[in-house]
Structure 1
């Protein structure tokens, strides 16, 4: 739905039910940019439309309103442990060889990069793109404008630059969700774009999202404080070890590399302990 369609449908609703003078709806409409998702399609929110139904879902089944403080702390730790275990299971599944639906190069690359959940969303968009029609409506140098549509659905406009495979679709799925839409993928197939352009791969959706430096929302590297409590250090080391085990067991070659590096690291730690 576009902004124009939203406002048209809003006006139609008011006229149909005779609510044009309803003060509450008038006030609500004035604040529409704060609650109508159509006004924030250009902001990546990882498909999270609202926090109200799920803001406490993280602790569902763990906490009660009348729970004593001591039990609360135990259940809190249990919830975090269970969530980490679930995350580790998801990491392990993401490192398994996924089933390809089209076996085209762009899908193979996505399978090597994306987590299992995002890969499935990408594959759905890629499959849908096959049933869409396209028409080039303008061309200037390396830049082209396409109309992409499916019978009975809204026509989407896709701007494409052959120089660096940069694109922009009027549906704004990539801007909102962080993975490419069926309209852009249709144009990629037409233009024979066989690889995912790097600027359309968000690190948050990749298998190696936990690797690399810690950054804030402005992508500025944060200085990590290493003077932490021993228990915190222990937990972080365990988490890293689990991550190594998950990725290191994906194949026999990777396993040998991981085991060799792990043994070398253990020798360095033992040497460091003797020098303390």
Structure 2
């Protein structure tokens, strides 16, 4: 074995190692581009990895919110919705900030309607449907009238004078 030949082959192998290290270091420093509408992935796992890495780089976790499958029998996933892991929840850290700032009442835009006392009292109706009630079916109009009558009865039941007037008694 010739020492000159062995020493000449060593630098080449170390150069290859340096190139590999550069590639690995570059991939860690490379920032993932922000997602945009129309972004396409070949698989759901690829999309999951992309959003998890993007979230990690930007300081949040990602979770699967919902997914859609094809019709019965195939069970092939057609779409998946990934969201921030805190989506829809008031973060406990924000409550601590409110406490430190002496905020006594949580701002209204943080409170979901389903958390309120009268959330299930009346069904809300779409304003557009209410305005175009002339074009609606008899069933829709009857449903709307029943809902309004129930609302009026609930209000009248809270006040004795209104209750008596609803029966025509003074």
Q: TM-score range by the shorter chain?
A: 0.3 to 0.5
Specify which structure has the bigger relative contact order, considering alpha-carbon pairs within 8 angstroms and separated by 6 or more residues. Answer: 1
TM-score by length of 1: 0.26
TM-score (normalised: structure 2): 0.38
